[in-house]
Structure 1
Amino acid sequence: MHIHLDLLGGLAGDMFLAAAIDAELVDIEALEAALCTLGLGRGIRIVCEKVMRGAISGTHVRFEGWDLEAEADHRHLSTILEMIDQSGLQPGVKARAKDMFNVLGQAEAAIHGIALERVHFHEVGAVDSLLDFVSAAWIVDRVSASWSVSDVPAGRGTIVTDHGTIPVPAPATAKLLEGFAVVYRDIEAELVTPTGAAILRSLRPSFAPARGILQTTGFGCGTRNMKALSNVVRFVVLEQAASELKPTTESDVVWRVATEIDDMNPEILAHVEQLLLDAGALDVVREPVLMKKGRQGVRLSLLCGEDHREALIETIFRQTSTFGLRVDTVERRKLDRESRLVETPFGSARVKLGYLAGELIKATPEYADCAKLAQVQGVALQDVYQAVQRAAAALLES
């Protein structure tokens, strides 16, 4: 299954859920039962109604039935993650929901210049926003689809929040939408909320045109009824033939530059390697080789893009003893990848995730994060690395 998101009027958490319900992708009773395990109340209900937004009829949703003592205008990220961990959600849903909150938390931390552990959410910490996130995670886990997205609409003007008056898109929203194609509309409104942007970022959608047999569509309606556009998001559900499925790996073509050297101090070569990386090389490798006349040497090779090739060639000629280089192009095959934050007894660290045809098959600790934690905590690097490996293994198992 492939789902294309048409962001006609933008995206918010309740619109994502409403579109999935409208497309008949959601067992509402099963989702309600899952939401009731969050510790917010045992009577949580999803109330659906058919409404018009502009010229389009779709579904609007709201939540009811949480306990009054669960009301809060803000919650710390750590509190929300603990609630998810202690819930009765399936492991895959927990991992996806925590990823969405961590993605948003990292954006908020970057905007406000604070550590991730200090992030607390205002509007997003409210009960209905919590339920929006967990519902989206439940849907994504259940449908097990690939995703693509249209251009992202953005309004203009300002909005008033607990942080004061801020521009549209909100700073955290703009941070989350980095890398997405954004189209500004002449509308004074917030079209994509931080919750909607975090869901998009977590989906890791394709931007390529989607193809397949159209199975169904669903329209999720926002709360406002705007004159300038229909405030809806559309789910377009496609069944794809094998030839149209996403390739198992990404590929690109890069330049390879290589030379063999047998008359230089290895310490200088280490310096040259760093110069090449600083100058834009994608990768630099040194490997021992046996050269003519039985001399031991080093093969220095790098990969780079077209825009850095000539500068890197000049650097090698100027900084090494070589008189010649070999230059050719090679195809790279790469796993789809992302960076995700995991929690350990020593603190937070990133792991690099590798996906093959949408399946998570690798989770590797980031060395720099592990080394920093070891230094800060005054413990052995091996202990930190193993703790991060255990957290990474949990992602693979989920």
Structure 2
Amino acid sequence: MRLYLDIISGISGDMFFALLLGFKDCSEELSLLFSRMLDGEINISLENVLVNGIVCNRLNIEENIKKPFRHFEKIVDIIECAELPEKVKINAVNTLKIIAEAEAKVHNTSLDKIHFHEVGAVDTIIDVVGVSYMLDSLGINKVEASPAKVGFGTVKMEHGILPVPAPATVEILKGLNIERIDINDEITTPTGAALYKKFIEGVKNSFSGKLVEISYSTGTKQFENFPNMLRGFLLEEDSQLQSVMELEFNVDDTNGQVLGFLMEELFNRGAVDIFFTPIFMKKNRPAYKITVLCDESQIDDMISTVFRISSTIGVRFIKKNRVVMQRSFDEIEYAGEKVKIKKTSWNGIEKKTIEWEDLKKISKKLNVSPSDLGTEIIKQYNLKVLSKKN
């Protein structure tokens, strides 16, 4: 599944989160998750708002938190200890780090000293984790968008009156194509910019694919010449035949800890797949051939990451085709827990697998074998689907 974001008048964290909840309203379960995660009372809900006659989702967050979260390391600890899929944790932490590093550079300080007025806000943590969670829950494997938009003028912030776009926002968007439009206000926030930078893999005004669903979201502001609106198109791939870039390189003098870090960084930057193959090089040295699959637009970033972290001095690459099965997700409740089911299909061939983290959690809870448990859950899911058809 792919998502195309139509950036009509900028982007903020709450608008991105509300747009994704418009595809699948998980506000109730996320309210419980955030309440446990932030040790307080959090209530997330969606409100329908008319913007120029179009119904849009607006995010409402009611919070009662005992203490504020100001330091980056503390925020990272909270996220890493939360009941979230590992991929969601990594994406959320990396997004918050984008904001933190931009704030630190603008204020000429370090991550451990900066006053996190943006990162420390509970709403920002919720927006970033919420977007990461929903992208994973919806099975979205690629996000594309139109160019980022910024306004003009000034805005009052904690440090005083600042130009629009805010310095942190500009720092985050550096290196990306942006468009300044005639709105005298802040329309892309640091949080929105960080989410845009982290998740958008292709910036273009065109897209293709089978249109599955459309979602609209808005914020609290109103503009005279532009609708304050973000629009998302949920798409199925127009073909199961895809093109990927395959990168290869050999290393015989990089230790395992560095290689583990390299794999983590490449996945964080959007690699489709990574695998290590044991080989022998000259002088009978044991080594690894490392293979990375990625989108063509990511090749420069992947090569830079490989050169920066590993000891290799050369990378081979070639464009290849691959066939992928269509993917979708569903849920079933089992033993009082929600279980995510991944469904894949191709030319009449269908497969169902259970999200491992969900299976592991219930396996521990019931003290039973994951294999036997998985068989039973799939059986229950098939019965549920059959009863719906009848």
**TM-score bin (small chain):** 0.5 to 0.7
Q: 2:164 is matched with which residue: 157, 163, 168? A: 168
Displacement, 1:238?
0.7
| Distance in 1, Cα, partners of 2:178 & 2:224 | 21
Aligned to 2:39: 40
Instruction: Could you tell me which runs of 5 or more consecutive residues in structure 1 were left unpaired when the two chains were aligned.
Output: 250-332, 336-343, 372-396
Quick check: 1:156–1:186 contact (8 Å CA) kept in 2? yes
Q: 1:216 is matched with which residue: 193, 209, 213? A: 213
Q: TM-score, normalised by structure 2?
A: 0.63
Quick check: 1:211–1:244 contact (8 Å CA) kept in 2? no
Displacement, 1:154?
0.9
| Distance in 2, Cα, partners of 1:222 & 1:352 | 33
Q: TM-score, normalised by structure 1?
A: 0.62
Quick check: 2:49–2:55 contact (8 Å CA) kept in 1? yes
356 and 29 in structure 1: CA distance in 2 versus 1, 3 angstrom threshold? closer
Aligned to 1:155: 151
| Distance in 2, Cα, partners of 1:350 & 1:244 | 26
Displacement, 1:357?
6.2
Quick check: 1:225–1:231 contact (8 Å CA) kept in 2? yes
366 and 118 in structure 1: CA distance in 2 versus 1, 3 angstrom threshold? farther
| Distance in 2, Cα, partners of 1:117 & 1:350 | 26
| Distance in 2, Cα, partners of 1:197 & 1:9 | 13
Q: 1:186 is matched with which residue: 174, 182, 186? A: 182
Quick check: 1:156–1:188 contact (8 Å CA) kept in 2? yes
| Distance in 2, Cα, partners of 1:233 & 1:195 | 15
| Distance in 2, Cα, partners of 1:227 & 1:171 | 25
Quick check: 1:56–1:230 contact (8 Å CA) kept in 2? no
Question: What SS is found at the alignment partner of 1:211?
Answer: coil
117 and 244 in structure 1: CA distance in 2 versus 1, 3 angstrom threshold? farther
Q: 1:241 is matched with which residue: 235, 238, 243? A: 238
Letter in 2 for 1:162: E
Letter in 1 for 2:17: L
Quick check: 2:5–2:143 contact (8 Å CA) kept in 1? yes
| Distance in 1, Cα, partners of 2:240 & 2:310 | 41
Quick check: 1:75–1:121 contact (8 Å CA) kept in 2? yes
Superposed counterparts of 1:217-296, under 5 Å: 217-242=214-239, 245=242, 247-249=243-245
Letter in 1 for 2:214: T
Displacement, 1:55?
3.9
Question: What SS is found at the alignment partner of 1:144?
Answer: coil
Equivalent pairs counted in the alignment come to 273
| Distance in 2, Cα, partners of 1:93 & 1:15 | 19
Please say which of residues 11-20 and 83-92 is displaced more in the overlay: 83-92
Displacement, 1:158?
0.9
Deviations 1:93-148 (A, max 9, x none): 21111111111112122222222232331133122222111111111222232110
Q: 2:110 is matched with which residue: 107, 111, 115? A: 115
101 and 334 in structure 1: CA distance in 2 versus 1, 3 angstrom threshold? same
Question: What SS is found at the alignment partner of 1:66?
Answer: strand
| Distance in 1, Cα, partners of 2:2 & 2:151 | 28
Identity of aligned residues (%): 28
Large movers: runs of 4+ above 4 Å: 348-352, 354-357, 360-371
Quick check: 1:54–1:229 contact (8 Å CA) kept in 2? no
Deviations 1:230-267 (A, max 9, x none): 1111111111133574x322xxxxxxxxxxxxxxxxxx
Displacement, 1:203?
0.4
Displacement, 1:86?
2.4
Instruction: Could you tell me which runs of 5 or more consecutive residues in structure 2 were left unpaired when the two chains were aligned.
Output: 249-256, 276-291, 293-301, 312-355, 358-390
Aligned to 1:96: 91
Deviations 1:69-96 (A, max 9, x none): 23x3x61211211211222222222111
Aligned to 1:255: none
Superposed counterparts of 1:275-354, under 5 Å: 334=247, 352-353=265-266
133 and 86 in structure 1: CA distance in 2 versus 1, 3 angstrom threshold? same
